Chains A and B, each alone.
Chain A
């Protein structure tokens, strides 16, 4: 059973606008959440993370929000750039095991 879900397989956004990628999880024991960016035929690269004791973490254009009561995680990219076009995976951890969502393919249109 998928413990981390990304229900939107794809998203298209105009350059300069906000991209919002969503992620839901089912396991309340997860204590750390991450977002990864992946280009075709390459390994995922770590983007940003958030601990379960926080509700927001910001790093430049990237902000991750955590709503523990809803078991929901989101990544905001502002402003979106064409180079942000990639597949984004959310992940959750409990101890040393990582659980990944199925990914959302983001296309930023120039």
Chain B
């Protein structure tokens, strides 16, 4: 089945440690996104990539880094510089049609800093 897979579903991190969240898609989508969801704040864009080896900062990129070495993969690293990393992280992808496209989401990763 085609889709977007995020792993792990739950992740615990000690303060001061970097952690990488995985996102893989087999939909042959060009564009991929990372969002963060916090209670009452909807979905906020962290980073997005429209093509391999290229990515752009979203609204809340500070303390995060990404890479896009393959079309299928868009891992997100939460660094120790991120002041409040505990959140629900969502990865999405879409076809680059220029307009009129839907984003498809993975099941999310719940990151908790302990």
| A residues neighboring B (CB under 8 Å) | 6, 9, 31-32, 34, 36, 41-46, 49, 51, 89, 91, 93, 95-98, 100-103
Contact = CB atoms under 8 A, between A and B. Distances in A.
B14 interface: no
A46 B110 CA distance: 21
Contacts of A89: 42-43
Interface of B is mostly: strand
B50 to A, nearest CB: 6
Interface residues of B, number: 29
A9 B41 CA distance: 10
Contact of A43 (B94, B98, B102, B105): B105
B111 to A, nearest CB: 13
B62 interface: no
Contacts of B6: 43
B60 interface: no
Nearest to B102: A46
Contact of B98 (A36, A45, A95, A103): A95
Interface in B88-110: 88, 90, 92, 94, 96, 98-108, 110
A100 B100 contact: no
Nearest to B103: A98
Given A96-B96, A98-B33, A41 B50 contact: no
A96 B48 contact: yes
A96 B101 contact: yes
A66 to B, nearest CB: 13
